[in-house]
């Protein structure tokens, strides 16, 4: 029997890399977007799997539509990656954020329970749930101290997963992923903003980069590696939650400096402070400890910052070069 995966949120960064991984493993891959007729699916196209996956219009906040989707696909594995994913935007759209994460996760769990599906569920939790880790690496036992509506919603969804796992016996687990980047990252995220603007400055099409607090510290990993961990979690005999991180801390200033140095530029000559992009309630320092993932999944991060920053710059230069010659996106 062919494994059949259903990826809610297949159009995002992780969804595209996960679809590519699963297609190459021989899965029948299904994915959803709110409206597949208008969704661009640029990531799937760049990963050369758009014509190899089955797409469905689905909305996790619509319970009836969700039931219909599950009955149609009959998946053996479900990956819940669909949600409003911007921490900054969650302060402007808290209700939409809570609904798209917490309520949507509850709908999915209830639908699986109602249909009595023999399915394994992966849920995308977030390191934002930890808040500031006080310069100590967070693991699966670290207390949640969420700062943003996004983080609060993710924490609620995380506890729902545990409740249905223990209360109803569902195979459901969460990956607590720290920041992870790739060329498929949306321009709303600061790492992509830095890389693309820096390359534009190098090419002479832009002159300044506006950023907020450069002292914040994050644990940056590589998205294609992190989706491997998602898949590994669903291959275990029993469902468990795992922290997925590099364990290496770097400041936003470190990231910015590395990007500009790769382009032969001094970042201080081009970066301005913009108080307008500072979040109302920022997380100053966060880093993860994925020792459990190494011990039980055999997973560990291979790329860290600055390798990630350098790779992003090189790939952006390649993308811009292809666009200028009319050979691709």
Is 27 labeled as catalytic in the residue annotation? Answer: no
Strand bridging mode 271-273 / 209-211 = parallel
Q: Which of 150, 164, 171, 226 is catalytic?
A: 150
* Annotation marks residue 128 as catalytic: yes
Residue 17 is a catalytic residue: no
**How distant is the alpha carbon of residue 246 from its chain centre?**
15
Contact 210, 248 (CB under 8 A): no
Residues 6+ apart with CB under 8 A from 16: 10, 41, 43, 44, 46, 47, 49, 184
Q: How far apart are CA 163 and CA 173, in angstroms?
A: 11
Catalytic hit among 126, 148, 182, 290:
126
Rounded to an integer, what distance in angstroms lies between the CA atom of residue 43 and that of residue 116? Answer: 33
Out of 77, 128, 225, 316, pick the active-site residue.
128
Give the span between the Cα atoms of 326 and 238, in whole angstroms. Answer: 49
Q: Please list, in sequence order, all residues whose beta carbon lies within 8 angstroms of the beta carbon of residue 273, skipping any fewer than 6 positions away.
A: 210, 211, 212, 214
What positions carry a catalytic annotation?
Answer: 126, 128, 150
């Amino acid at each position: 029997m062919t494994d059949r995966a259903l990826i809610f949120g297949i159009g995002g960064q992780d969804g595209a890399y996960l679809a590519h991984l699963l297609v190459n493993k021989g899965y029948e891959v299904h994915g959803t977007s709110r409206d597949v007729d208008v969704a661009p699916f640029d990531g799937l196209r760049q990963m050369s799997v758009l014509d190899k996956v089955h797409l469905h219009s689905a909305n996790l906040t619509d319970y009836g539509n969700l039931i219909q989707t599950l009955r149609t696909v009959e998946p053996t594995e479900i990956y819940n990656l669909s949600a409003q994913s911007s921490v900054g935007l969650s302060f402007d759209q808290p209700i939409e954020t809570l609904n798209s994460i917490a309520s949507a996760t509850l709908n999915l769990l209830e639908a699986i329970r109602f249909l009595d599906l023999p399915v394994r569920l992966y849920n995308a939790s977030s390191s934002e749930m930890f808040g500031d880790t006080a310069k100590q690496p967070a693991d699966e036992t670290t207390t949640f101290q969420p700062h943003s509506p996004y983080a609060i919603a993710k924490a609620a969804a995380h506890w729902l997963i545990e409740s249905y796992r223990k209360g109803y016996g569902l195979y459901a687990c969460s990956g607590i992923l720290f920041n992870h980047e790739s060329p498929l990252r949306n321009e709303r995220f600061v790492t992509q903003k830095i890389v693309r603007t820096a390359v534009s400055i190098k090419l002479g099409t832009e002159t300044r980069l506006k950023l907020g607090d450069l002292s914040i510290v994050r644990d940056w990993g590589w998205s294609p590696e992190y989706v491997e961990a998602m898949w590994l979690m669903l291959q275990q005999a029993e469902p468990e939650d795992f922290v997925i991180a590099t364990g290496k801390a770097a400041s936003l200033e470190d990231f910015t400096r590395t990007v500009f140095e790769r382009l032969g530029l001094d970042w201080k000559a081009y970066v301005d402070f913009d108080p307008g992009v500072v979040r109302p309630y920022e997380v100053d320092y966060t880093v993860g400890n994925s020792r459990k993932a190494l011990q039980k999944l055999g997973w560990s991060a291979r790329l860290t910052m600055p390798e990630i920053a350098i790779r992003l710059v090189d790939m952006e230069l390649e993308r811009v070069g292809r666009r200028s010659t009319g050979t691709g996106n």
